[in-house]
Structure 1
Amino acid sequence: MSGTLYAAISGLNAEQALLGVISENIANVNTTGYKSSSMSFAQMMQQTLSGGTAPTATLGGTNPEQVSGGAAVGIGAVDVNMSQGSLQTTGIKTNMAISGHGFFVIKTPNGYAYSRSGDFTLDAQGQLVTPQGDFVMGWMAQNGQLTGESQGNISPITIQPNMNMAPSATTSVSVNGNLNAALATAASSTATTSGSTVRNVPVTVYDSLGDPVTLNVNFSNPTATANSGTSWTVTVTEPPSTTALGSGTVNFSNSGAITSGSTVSLSLQSTNGSATPQKVTLNLNGLTADAAATSLSGTAGGYPQGTLSNFTIGHNGVITGTFSNGQTQAIAQVSLANFNNTAGLLNVGNNLWQQSANSGTAKIGQPGSGGLGTISSGSLEESNVSLANQFVSMISAQQGYQANAKVISVAQALDTTLVNTIAP
């Protein structure tokens, strides 16, 4: 009966191991990014009583005869289910979930690891980290420019809370709107229509230090031309000085469309230590001159220095900062990694995986490219454990355990009967 007992004991051990896998799945039903496991059994080595015979002319063939040689069943494999879990909105912008394939790349004291759990936060130095303090990896922007994989090796992502955006000097100014063509008959540099001053359009520009400078774009001397159009003198000054920083003549057809003089070159001088002279182009292509009332507005490029006030994370993993100067700029991009065989990854705890000999090497890329999934900011991926399936598996394992225990009980009873028969 020893063979029967050993077979039943192997069954007990196998079912107990299965219950261990099931209990771990159930325990992690609310663990962010957890991937459930399943176990399969394998029949163990059999004792061969007869290897079987081939048919002959006088006798048919016989099949092999095998019985359990002791342990009848063992663990065949423990497989990880890498299917995606549901996404849960958290509203925390540093929380991230991957929609599709891929893993976040994490730098730990023991090297790179990979995770589906995006429960990230910023530490005191602005570094994007896991709950254990490990670094989230990606590409840092250079002067607001991201080139992703072509930029080189990944590095820890940092979002400094006091990050500054360098100022940008103005290189172009535009004046848009309409000049009242009827004023051409008056030939007056101070004529007004509907309360709008013809000759003075204030525009704020910025020097190389980001300091604002107010310019006046003056339109004067409106005169009629031979083609029934109009001609205007354009002069740009920096009040209170009346010295022209640039001037020109802009001409319009009888339909009010601009015909010449659409740009004026300006040369700004400064005494505050900024780069000088500052070359600026005045663009007048947005002007018309017809019978409508005068209405003018000016815009300029450039901006002052700004301080980071907020940031967002896009589906492509790009972290974009919003600055106090109203500008936006790329700060970094989160990287993702994938493997030829994700089921071959080694679970090292804390929602982390490491590559193994059978997973293949990590292929790192940008979210949304090369088969990698996209990122949802403000969300977390839930566990993919199905409680219903786990309870069904648990009932099956329990029944298997009870059946093997019953076999042991019956075998013991048979042994007792045999002993009592031999030695009454």
Structure 2
Amino acid sequence: MGFQQGLSGLNTASKNLDVIGNNVANATTVGFKTGQAQFADVFAASLTGAGSSPVGLGSKLSTIVQQFTQGNITATNNPLDIAINGGGFFRLTDPSGTPYYSRNGQFQVDKNGQIVNSQGLRVTGYMADDAGTIVQGDLQEITIPISDIAPQETGTSASATGVEAELKLDSREDAIPVATAFDSTDPSTYNFSTSTSIYDSLGNASILTMFFRKTAANTWDVHTTVTPPSGTPIDITPATVPTIVFNSDGVIDAGLSTELTNGAFTQAITAAQLGTGASNMSFRVDFTGTKQWGGEATVIDLAQDGFASGSLTGFTISDDGILLGRYSNGQSKNLAQVVLANFRNPQGLEPQGNNLWADSAASGPAVLGVPQSGQFGALQSSAVEDSNVDLTAELVNMITAQRVYQANAQTIKTQDAVLQTLVNLR
């Protein structure tokens, strides 16, 4: 009798419809991966192996395989929405430290500053040290620090840049007689000036003003003043006034320029001159690239390496998973780096619901790495990965599964008719 075969066919067709229905229901679920029901026949054979052509006993559900193909990327307005473009899973942990894995990158910051998903699971990665260097190898739950960024005194950066001034001075200017004393308040005693902010050890801003005074052909003296927060300018020109001498082509002549080393001199400011409670300052003032040509004097570039303290105002996440903090003082610093996980056999992951998977013996252990390296894809901030469900294909599969269900029901109906005929024999 074919009742067993027809019944197994109904069961498998029903399971197939369940899987298709689940796919359709999750067509808008972020990070969802399509499931595919796979079936196998039920082979019938006696223990002695008798029979050369045994009839099978129907079909059975072999497994439900998830298709980890890439979903479309959709932009959002949340900087903590993160899409994975390529391989890998976000690694999340619960309060007990148990790891879970997900492709759903809809995150937010909780009251403790930790980046979490909608279930409160915490995103893990590598944290940065105070200097902004990512410390790889020490896997932690990512926490956004609430502390301010410390001020940096001008001239104390890793490269000790100090003040860099690239200018164009006007070769047509008349020289000012040596007998005319320099006076920062009298424009007739200098030819050109420019200013920039500098910062002391406490992050207080003062104004450094540089005055350029032409004393002879191709020769310029440099005088400096500082205006501390008190507001009164103070002459801080070195005892031996720095002099810039230009060649006939308008380029600095390093050999003839006095008090300059490689186009720069050292500017000192005492704590008493600052009056802010900060320590003494000393930094380079570099004129590399400065020219003397015919034409109005202009500032080409003027920069310095100090800054005041600042509070965190926002952050962005780069393609390689680095969380970059932006501060109110215009500075930025690395805060952390998101870590991704991958598996030798992603099909072996155990679904946990809520867009989560757990590793298993079938999946193998998680292999961790940073985005854009090896088997790991790139991250895209302010975006999510859509479900990879193809609604058109699923609806066609649904029609096919329905017809298969009807066909199996028809075999049962036919077998019933045959049995009825036998029962009615006289």
TM class by shorter-chain length? 0.7 to 0.9
Q: How far apart, CA to CA, are the structure 1 residues paired with 2:328 and 2:397?
A: 57
- Whole-angstrom distance in 1 between the partners of 2:66 and 2:106: 21
Task: Determine the structure 2 residue equivalent to 1:223.
Answer: 215
Query: 1:369/1:189 Cα in 2 relative to 1: closer, same or farther (>3 Å)?
Result: farther
Q: Which of 210, 222, 225 matches 1:234?
A: 222
Q: Which residue of 1 aligns with 2:284?
A: 281
1:191 offset after TM fit, Å?
Answer: 10
Equivalent residue in structure 1 for 2:165, among 151, 170, 175: 175
**2:101 alignment partner AA:** Y
- The whole-number CA distance in structure 2 between the counterparts of 1:413 and 1:245 is 114
Q: Quote how far apart the aligned CAs of 1:418 are.
A: 2.3
Change (3 A) 1:109 1:14: farther
* Structure 1 position 206 matched with structure 2 position 194: no
Aligned amino acid, residue 344 of structure 2: N
Counterpart of 1:327 (choices 304, 312, 331) is 331
Separation in structure 1 between the aligned mates of residue 339 and residue 401 of structure 2, nearest angstrom: 41
Pairing 1:116–2:103 present: yes
**Structure 2 CA distance, aligned partners of 1:298 and 1:385?**
55
Partner of 1:280: helix, strand, or coil?
Answer: strand
* 2:125 aligned with 1:138: yes
CA distance in 2, matches of 1:26, 1:64: 43
Which residue is equivalent to 1:378? 382
Q: Are the aligned partners of 2:151 and 2:310 in contact in 1 as well (CA < 8 Å)?
A: yes
Give the aligned residue type for 2:220: W
Counterpart-to-counterpart distance in 2, 1:46 and 1:310:
66
- Residue 128 of structure 1 deviates from its aligned partner by 1.4
1:39, distance to aligned residue in structure 2 (A): 1.3
Cα distance, 1:244 vs structure 2: 3.8
Judged with a 3 Å threshold, the aligned counterparts in structure 2 of structure 1 residues 397 and 179 are, in CA distance, closer, same or farther, namely closer
- Indicate conservation of the 8 Å contact 1:48/1:67, yes or no: no
Contact 2:126–2:140, Cα closer than 8 Å, also in 1: yes
CA distance in 2, matches of 1:264, 1:168: 21
| Greater Cα offset, 235-244 or 29-38 | 235-244
CA distance in 2, matches of 1:284, 1:386: 63
Cα distance, 1:406 vs structure 2: 2.2
Indicate the SS of the match to 1:165.
coil
C-alpha separation in 2, matches of 1:205 and 1:392? 69
Does the Cα contact within 8 Å between 1:191 and 1:198 map onto a contact in 2? no
Partner Cα distance (1:198, 1:298) in 2: 18
The one of 40, 52, 56 aligned to 1:42 = 40
SS of 2:209's equivalent in the other structure is: strand
After superposition, the Cα gap between the structure-2 partners of 1:299 and 1:28, relative to the gap in structure 1 and judged at 3 Å, is closer
Aligned twin of 2:29: 31
Q: Deviations over 1:207-229 (max 9, x none)?
A: 12111122333334x433xxxx4
Distance 1:49 1:23 in 2: 40
Structure 1 SS opposite 2:234:
coil
**Can you list the C-alpha shifts for 1:155-186, whole angstroms capped at 9, x where unaligned?**
222234x5422211101113332344443364
Give distance in 1, aligned partners of 2:30 and 2:182: 71
Task: Report how far residue 249 of structure 1 moved.
Answer: 2.6
- Does the residue aligned with 2:15 lie in a helix, a strand or coil? helix
Structure-2 residue corresponding to 1:57 = none
> In structure 2, the residue corresponding to 1:6 is in which secondary structure?
helix
Query: SS where residue 178 of structure 1 aligns?
Result: strand
Greater fraction of residues in strand = 1
Residues 182, 189 of structure 2: 8 Å contact kept: no
Question: Which secondary structure state, in structure 2, belongs to the residue aligned with residue 167 of structure 1?
Answer: coil
Looking at structure 1, the residues matched to 403 and 188 of structure 2 have their Cα atoms a distance apart, in angstroms, of 92
- For 1:196 and 1:404, the matched residues in 2 are separated by 104
TM-score normalised according to structure 2 size: 0.85
Task: Kindly indicate whether the alpha-carbon contact (under 8 Å) linking 2:326 and 2:333 is maintained by their aligned counterparts in 1.
Answer: yes
Structure 1 segments of 4+ aligned residues over 6 angstroms from their partners: 191-196
Deviation at 1:94, TM superposition (A): 1.2
Counterpart of 1:183, as a letter, is D
Q: What is the DSSP-based 3-state SS (H/G/I as helix, E as strand, rest coil) of the residue aligned with 2:9? A: helix
Give 1:272 shift: 3.5
Out of 374, 394, 398, the residue aligned to residue 398 of structure 2 is 394
Matched, 1:184 2:175: yes
Q: 1:298 to 1:32 in 2, by over 3 A?
A: closer
Shift of the 175–384 alpha-carbon distance from structure 1 to 2, 3 Å rule, reads closer
Count of aligned residue pairs for this structure pair: 399
- Matches of 1:256 and 1:316, distance apart in 2: 45
Q: Distance in 1 between matches of 2:395 and 2:415?
A: 30
198-207 or 349-358: bigger deviation:
198-207
Among 73, 83, 100, which residue is 2:86 paired with? 100
Q: Specify whether residues 196 and 108 from structure 1 end up closer, same or farther in structure 2 by C-alpha distance, changes over 3 A only.
A: farther
Contact residue 50 and residue 64 of structure 1 kept, 8 A: no
Deviation sequence 1:318-372 (CA, Å, 0-9, x none):
2222221112222222211111111111111100111111212111111111121
Q: How far apart are the structure 1 equivalents of 2:47 and 2:136?
A: 67
Pair 1:159 & 2:159 matched: no
Q: How big is each residue's C-alpha offset from its partner over 1:107-144, in whole Å with a ceiling of 9 and x where there is no partner?
A: 12461111111111122333211011111112222235
Q: Is the 1:16–1:401 contact (alpha carbons within 8 Å) kept by the matching residues of 2?
A: yes
